[in-house]
Amino acid sequence: MWVKKKGILFGVLLFILGGLALWLTQGVFHKTNSTEFCVSCHSMSFPKEEWEGSVHFANRKGIRAECADCHLPPDSWHYVKAKVMAVKDVWGEITGKIPDQEAYEAHRLEMAQAVWKNMKEQDSSTCRTCHKTDAWILGEQSEQAQTMHKLALETNQTCIDCH
């Protein structure tokens, strides 16, 4: 009888600990999604300045894309993978891999290629959360954009193939 109660108690305790672990993980994931968290690292001050000068920061429609909007995929598997892989970025910050603008520029292409690869693998899913191809009004785009967007639709290209 006592062994059975111990088993039930152990199961309940395990369930509570599992729930607590999930709750804490979700809290950490949520906190680390904020742009404030992303740019709190010294090495992110360089892309922050660039972002603040872009259409993704300020535009006539008042829509702002935050770091997580572009760099964290919307589907669960790729989202968790991105969070786990971000540990290397934290390690790079701790070890001073990118201490200044010069080092940032030296690593810029390598970092960009990693982002492009991930975006290509995910069919530009982060872009497509805002930019819907079925909502394009091609006639209101520049002639060059119309031509390229028609071609992209015909050849099944993804955003990152051109942008």
- Report if residue 120 sits inside a domain: yes
- Distant-in-sequence, close-in-space partners of 63: CB < 8 Å, separation ≥ 6: 130
- Helix (H), strand (E), coil (C) string for 112-139: HHHHHHHHHHCCCHHHHCCCCHHHCCHH
Residue 2 lies in a domain: no
What share of the chain in percent tops pLDDT 70?
Answer: 98
Residue 28 backbone phi and psi in degrees, to 5: -65, -45
Within a domain: residue 94? yes
**Looking at the domain assignment, is residue 138 inside a domain?**
no
Instruction: Please determine, for residue 2, whether its predicted confidence score (pLDDT) is greater than 70.
Output: no
Q: Give yes or no for residue 84 having a pLDDT over 80.
A: yes
Q: Is residue 111 part of a domain?
A: yes
Provide the number of structural domains found in the chain: 1
Q: Mean pLDDT over all residues of the chain?
A: 89
pLDDT one-digit tens code per residue, 87-109:
888 898 899 889 999 999 999 99
**Distance of alpha carbon 159 from alpha carbon 51, whole angstroms:** 18
pLDDT in tens, 107-141: 999 999 999 998 999 899 999 999 999 998 989 99
Is residue 44 assigned to a domain? yes
Domain holding 63, by residue range, is 36-128
**Is 20 a domain residue?**
no
Q: How confident is the model at residue 1 (pLDDT cuts 50, 70, 90)?
A: low
pLDDT at site 88: 87
Is 163 among the domain residues?
no
- With b meaning 16 or more CB within 10 Å and e meaning fewer, what string describes 91-106? eebeeeebeeeeebee
